């Protein structure tokens, strides 16, 4: 695994953030800025001196974006759905879902041939891999990056996925077992690409072919934080000098009978089948589980200096990233949200931002009873009084929960919120939970200055991750 983000030196607690040197409209409605305890208070003098001698950290920006999500194909359609507060969840159409407790999902209307995949690629690649490759191509085209400007060994790929090739593996099982009636019918009928489906590392390798990447190629699979972590690790590859350009993101296509049955068994998904469009209700008092979904988002990452030198459009800088694990329970969460709060604190520290610099929080907001309360507690701990001022929303209310891919889709939403100075809403939020008492932007998007966004993820296994994205300073080096 790539090395950790180096720490920054600036004192965030006394006006040392980037934006305090470049004032912008305040949204704190007259409240005094909240100062976080300075890291120096918890360090020895020797540690402070070592930190001061640490070389400057390479700044990493996003210059390309590709998305496939429920409700539309491409970045424009994705943002249109989010900014208009429309929902894309519906009854499952991929298979007969009548035996299941939860029968709603966020499906992607996807035609690989129409997306430019060749017949051979369509035969070879699992659906999730097809999503990743199409999004990677879109992101590379969007970035305008001349790949020949970077040697192949200086290009990298980091891809996240929770269930990888689950779709193809289930299909091959049906062939092998005569639809489950026999353990082994005829292995000769199996696809010659069965080995590809069994190896999660094949998916990032396919993306590497697309990018001509001969540098580090990494697969990340830590559940629902995979997409956020993959991008964080991509940033680290550039900062540690292992790559100049990284294509990073995540993909998942988990709408299969076995995956649906898995979440049915633990009652994590909603049984609100009669109202598919209203089924995902993060932070609402009537919420009763998440809506399973599929999707992908990929990004082109490069140094700020590289992007500036070639005059590239920059969506945002990735200022900070951190991940933690609660080491507590595979599916349960501590009520205090301590580990998520710590990940947020570290991400803010790396970005050299104060809590009051955050203009929008893109929440994990899965729509389960425990997650939404856990997350609310984490925001209060990490952001202090600003937690009550800053708008917080969950795009899962509109596109569902695509497991490993959702973290990257939420990064995409955060980038577009900065790009458009607009906070997407939390759809279906009609009855706020008294224990979720923050500004969760119910029903309607909100136009406002959006310079810095915090996005977070939470996953089975106790994983908690946070990332800070912000507009790069014009005068920064």
Active site residue 8: no
The half-sphere exposure of 277 on its side-chain side, counting CA atoms within 13 A, is 6
Active-site entry in 12, 224, 304, 374: 224
Active-site entry in 12, 401, 436, 470: 401
What's the burial of 112, exposed, middle or buried (CB within 10 Å: 0-12/13-18/19+)? middle
Answer yes or no: are the C-beta atoms of 375 and 406 closer than 8 Å. Answer: no
How far from chain centre, in Å, is Cα 134? 18
74 vs 461: CA distance, rounded Å: 31
What's the burial of 388, exposed, middle or buried (CB within 10 Å: 0-12/13-18/19+)? middle
Active site residue 401: yes
Q: Is 314 left (phi over 0), alpha (psi -120 to 50) or beta?
A: beta
Answer yes or no: are the C-beta atoms of 162 and 224 closer than 8 Å. Answer: yes
What's the burial of 93, exposed, middle or buried (CB within 10 Å: 0-12/13-18/19+)? exposed
Instruction: Characterize the bridge pairing of strands 217-220 and 392-393.
Output: unpaired
**Which tokens belong to 246?**
């990284």
Place of tokens 């994983």: 463
- Residues 6 or more apart whose CB falls under 8 angstroms from that of 82 comprise 395, 398, 399, 413, 416, 424, 445
Active site residue 224: yes
Please count the other Cβ atoms lying within 10 Å of the Cβ belonging to residue 214: 13
- DSSP labels for 262-277? HHHHTT-B----S-GG
Active-site entry in 8, 364, 386, 470: 364
Instruction: Characterize the bridge pairing of strands 295-303 and 104-106.
Output: unpaired
Return the active site residues.
224, 364, 401
């Amino acid at each position: 695994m790539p090395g950790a983000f180096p720490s920054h030196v600036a004192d965030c607690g006394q006006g040392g953030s980037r934006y305090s040197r470049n004032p912008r409209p305040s949204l704190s409605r007259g409240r005094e800025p909240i100062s976080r305890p300075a890291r120096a208070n918890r360090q020895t003098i020797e540690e402070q001196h070592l930190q001061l001698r640490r070389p400057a950290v390479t700044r990493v920006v996003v210059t390309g974006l590709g998305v496939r999500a429920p409700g539309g194909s491409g970045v424009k359609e994705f943002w249109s759905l989010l900014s208009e507060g429309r929902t894309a969840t519906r009854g499952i159409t991929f298979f007969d879902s009548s035996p299941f407790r939860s029968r709603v999902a966020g499906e992607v209307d996807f035609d690989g041939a129409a997306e430019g995949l060749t017949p051979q690629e369509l035969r070879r690649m699992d659906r999730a891999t097809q999503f990743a490759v199409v999004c990677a191509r879109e992101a590379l085209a969007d970035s305008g990056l001349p790949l020949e400007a970077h040697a192949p060994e200086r290009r990298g790929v980091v891809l996240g996925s929770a269930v990888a090739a689950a779709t193809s593996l289930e299909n091959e099982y049906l062939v092998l077992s005569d639809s489950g009636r026999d353990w082994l019918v005829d292995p000769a009928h199996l696809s010659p690409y069965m080995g590809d489906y069994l190896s999660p590392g094949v998916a990032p390798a396919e993306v590497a072919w697309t990018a001509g990447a001969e540098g580090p190629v990494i697969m990340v699979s830590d559940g629902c934080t995979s997409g956020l972590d993959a991008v964080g690790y991509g940033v680290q590859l550039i900062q540690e000098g292992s790559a100049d350009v990284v294509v990073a993101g995540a993909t998942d296509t988990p709408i299969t009978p076995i995956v649906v049955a898995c979440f049915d068994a633990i009652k994590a998904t909603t049984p609100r089948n009669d109202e598919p469009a209203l089924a995902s209700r993060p932070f609402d008092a009537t919420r009763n589980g998440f809506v399973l979904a599929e999707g992908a988002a990929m990004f082109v990452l490069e140094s700020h200096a590289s992007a500036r030198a070639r005059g590239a459009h920059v969506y945002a800088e990735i200022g900070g990233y951190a991940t933690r694990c609660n080491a507590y329970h595979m599916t349960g969460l501590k009520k205090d949200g301590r580990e998520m709060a710590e990940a947020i604190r570290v991400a803010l520290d790396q970005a050299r931002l104060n809590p009051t610099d955050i203009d929008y929080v893109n929440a994990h907001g899965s729509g389960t009873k425990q997650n939404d309360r856990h997350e609310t507690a984490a925001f209060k701990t990490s952001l202090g009084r600003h937690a009550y001022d800053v708008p917080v929303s969950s795009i899962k209310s509109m596109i569902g929960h695509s497991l490993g891919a959702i973290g990257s889709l939420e990064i995409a939403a955060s980038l577009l919120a900065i790009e458009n100075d607009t906070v997407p809403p939390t759809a279906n939020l009609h009855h706020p939970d008294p224990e979720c008492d923050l500004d969760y932007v119910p029903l309607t998007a909100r136009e406002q200055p959006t310079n810095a966004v915090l996005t977070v993820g939470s996953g089975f296994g106790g994983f908690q991750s946070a990332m800070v994205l912000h507009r790069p300073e014009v005068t920064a080096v």
